[in-house]
Amino acid sequence: MYALEIEHLKKTYSSGTKALKGVDLKVEKGDFFALLGPNGAGKSTTIGIVSGLVNKSAGSVKIFGYDYDTHQAQAKSCIGLVPQEFNFNQFERVIEILVNQGGYYGIPRPQAYKRAETYLRQLELWDKRNDMARELSGGMKRRLMIARALIHHPKLLILDEPTAGVDIEIRRSMWDFLTKINKQGTTIILTTHYLEEAESLCKNIAIIDHGRTIEDTSMKTLLSQLNTETFILYLQSPINDTHNLKSHDLSPFDIHVLDENTLEISIHEKMQFNHLFKLLTDNGIQVLSMRNKTNRLEQLFMRLVDKNRNNSELIETLEQTSHTENLDG
Amino acid sequence: MSWFEKYNALKTIIIKEYLRFIRIWIQTVLPPAITTALYFIIFGKLIGSQIGDINGYKYMDYIVPGLILMAVITNSYGNVVSSFYSAKFQKSIEELLVSPTPNYLILIGYISGGVARGIIVGIVVTLVAMYFSDIQVHSYTLSLFVFILTATLFSIAGFINAIYANSFDDISIIPTFVLTPLTYLGGIFYSIEMLPDFWQTLSLANPILYMISSFRYGMIGTSDTDITTAIMIIIGFTLVLFTFAMHLLNKGTGIRQ
Ligand SMILES: Nc1ncnc2c1ncn2[C@@H]1O[C@H](COP(=O)(O)OP(=O)(O)OP(=O)(O)O)[C@@H](O)[C@H]1O
Ligand SMILES: [Mg+2]
């Protein structure tokens, strides 16, 4: 049994937008799962359907074995949702928001209050418990929504961009907090546009684009697909004509001169750094420091999304052509 | 959800709805008290003394039941329409939609909030009325029954209005263009027997007439309409609107894309 199992999920909004054209996802129990995709890919729509905020057009959703169509209440009780946009009453107090949310899940007020205290303390909001929600800062509001999502001890926590607009320190403490509750057994699904966040937190990953799943695999497998990495090298002294970068030895490395003190070099996994540095030294080039050009997951992500963009353009053209043909016929 | 969990969920909605209008009592409870006091002074005391009796009752005593019920109608309706619409507007309705709370409890919870406001405002307006007139109650059972039923009916109506509303303007259109005219023409200030035949017959199509009539009968013992028919009509309307509101909620109209 999966924590979440989505099959052939489709959604067409009343505006006519086809937000989902066939999303398939399987999330294991206990997983820390990244759901990635560019803006407008359909992440929030998928999450909306799973959590009961959006009506699906087709497909099936199962949560811990409960089919959404037949066992909606049980399915909903398993899920805690931290939505992308703030969705609490701005004029309610922090503590009330939590206790009421507990009530909607059937938890008696005294018990809900105790749980609220636990989570507000852990998320460093206890001092703010009597403030109105609108008086909180953006980052505090995000944490309030995390506390609210946990009040009924959900088995599956879904966070839609929880770290958007959150400062580095709080983001780190959020990561620690999420890692902790994941270790305690809560399955977590996270969407984010910070790919290093997904890379460091998540075990498995799916990428959706244009309303379709284009990748669903483990983080390890995905990252191992990346067979070339690009590095930026900072040089001790400026490059000049005496340096022969086009030399035969260096040609397997893809070298670009960014400016006289900076080189960009792509290295295939089969190549050795030692070899590269030896050749650079032989050519009289001294390297001061170096860094990855982009995050590894980011490189892969861009590549997959680009590939999919071409594919979906192709599919759309094909669909249109067949449509036209049908009309003609 | 177990019965205990459902009980907790319903209780939560009711407490939240109750605290909402109590907290802003200056906007919710005080205005009807002031408006009715003005009605009593102007229509009851100043003009009423020139009018004489209706069906053998002093004009002031005759208009009291209608004024109480008018306050209940406006406030029950207004409570649910603004509370539910602002929950939609701020998206806090999603807190309920993601939870396992069944739709009928959501509806009953919001109705209870509207009825609670109706009761509080009803009590306040009655207290104001007692200052101007000798309140007598012909039948407590009937008065209370009609009172609660009317509050329920208009709470549901407010809920439906909120479901369809897409802007703050939309929540004042029905009260201004439908509710207020129907209430004024529902025989608060006059007996429909005083109207020409045509207008008398037309008035019978106004559901609010039946509520005011039966409530007045409950309080002072005189009525424009047959009480049993009136009550059947009110119950009928309530059931139809409740079913319709449930249908909209289940479909997700206005709250789920
Ligand atoms: N309520 C709505 N009505 C109509 N179309 C919508 C609605 N919500 C989303 N869409 C459309 O559905 C598509 C998917 O949107 P969605 O919000 O699911 O994307 P996303 O992957 O969450 O993007 P982001 O990273 O920007 O949050 C977009 O084309 C969007 O315009
Ligand atoms: Mg989104």
Read off the pLDDT of residues B123-156 as tens digits, 9 standing for 90 and up. Answer: 999 999 888 888 888 888 999 999 999 999 999 9
More confident residue, B182 or A220: B182
Percent of chain A at pLDDT exceeding 90? 51
Is residue A233 scored above 90 in pLDDT?
A: no
Chain A residues close to B6, C-beta within 8 Å: 106
CA A19 – ligand 1 centroid, Å: 6
Residues 71-90 in B contacting A (C-alpha not used; CB under 8 Å): 86-87, 90
Residue with the bigger pLDDT between A252 and B237: it is B237
pLDDT at residue A323 is higher than 60: no
Closest CB from A77, A88, A100 relative to B16? A100
Domain spanning A4-224: CATH superfamily = P-loop containing nucleotide triphosphate hydrolases (3.40.50.300)
Q: Find the A307 Cα to ligand 1 centroid distance in Å.
A: 21
pLDDT at B169 over 90: no
**In a 3-state reduction of DSSP, which class is residue B221?**
coil
Nearest CA to ligand 1 atom 27: A39
Q: Which domain holds residue B59?
A: 3-251
Q: What is the average pLDDT across A274-295?
A: 82
Alpha helices in B1-89 (DSSP H): 3-23, 25-28, 30-39, 48-51, 59-89
Cβ of B98 and A48 within 8 Å?
Answer: no
CATH 3.30.70.1560 domain locations along chain A:
228-292
| Closest CA of chain B from A210, distance in Å | 19
- The answer, yes or no, to whether residue A328 has pLDDT greater than 80, is no
Tokens of A191: 């969407």
CATH architecture of A228-292: 2-Layer Sandwich (3.30)
- Mean pLDDT, chain A, integer: 86
- Higher-scoring residue by pLDDT: B190, B35: B35
Residues of chain A with CATH 3.40.50.300: 4-224
* Cβ contacts of B90 on chain A, cutoff 8 Å: 87-90
Whole-number average pLDDT of chain B: 90
Residue B93 lies in a domain: yes
**Which of B56-61's residues contact partners 24+ apart within 8 Å by CB, and which partners?**
B56/B222, B57/B220, B57/B222, B58/B133, B60/B132, B60/B133, B61/B133, B61/B134, B61/B136, B61/B220
State the nearest Cα–Cα gap between A137 and chain B, in angstroms. 17
Q: A32-36 and A187-191: which strand pairing?
A: parallel
| Pocket around ligand 1 at a 6 A CB cut-off | A 13, 15, 17, 19, 37, 39-45, 84; B 257
The domain tally of chain B equals 1
Q: Is B256 part of a structural domain of the chain?
A: no
Instruction: Answer for the pair A279, A249: CB distance below 8 angstroms, yes or no.
Output: yes
- B119 CA to chain A: closest CA distance, Å? 24
A125-144 confidence digits (pLDDT tens): 999 999 999 999 888 999 99
* SS3 call for A93: strand
What is the Cα Rg of chain A in Å?
25
Using the Cβ of B100 and the Cβ atoms of chain A, whether some distance falls under 8 Å is answered with: yes
A with B: how many residue pairs have Cβ under 8 Å apart?
88
Q: Give the confidence band of A316 by pLDDT, cuts at 50, 70, 90.
A: low
Do residues B52 and B59 touch, judged by C-beta distance below 8 A?
yes
Nearest residue (CA) to ligand 1, atom 24: A39
Q: Give helix B227-251 / helix B140-164 axis angle, nearest 10°.
A: 30
Residue showing tokens 């089969």: A270
Both tokens assigned to A223: 């990252």
Q: How far is the CA of A56 from the centre of ligand 2 (A)?
A: 16
Give the span between the Cα atoms of B131 and B135, in whole angstroms: 9
pLDDT at A326 (0 to 100)? 46
- Residue closest via CA to ligand 1's atom 17 equals A44
Q: Tell whether B257 is covered by a domain.
A: no
**In the structure encoding, which two tokens stand for residue B44, read together?**
């009851």
A window 24-83, beta carbon within 8 A of B: 48, 51-55, 72-74, 76-77, 79, 81, 83
**ipTM of this predicted structure:** 0.90
Q: Which residue has the higher pLDDT, A165 or B8?
A: B8
If residue A84 lies in a helix (H) or strand (E), which one and from where to where? none
pTM of the model: 0.85
**Are the Cβ atoms of A105 and B16 closer than 8 angstroms?**
no
Cβ separation A81–B98 shorter than 8 A: yes
Q: Could you tell me the distance, in angstroms and rounded to a whole number, from the CA of residue A84 to the centre of ligand 2?
A: 6
- Give domain status of residue B7, yes or no: yes
Rounded Cα gap, residues B151 and B146, in angstroms? 8
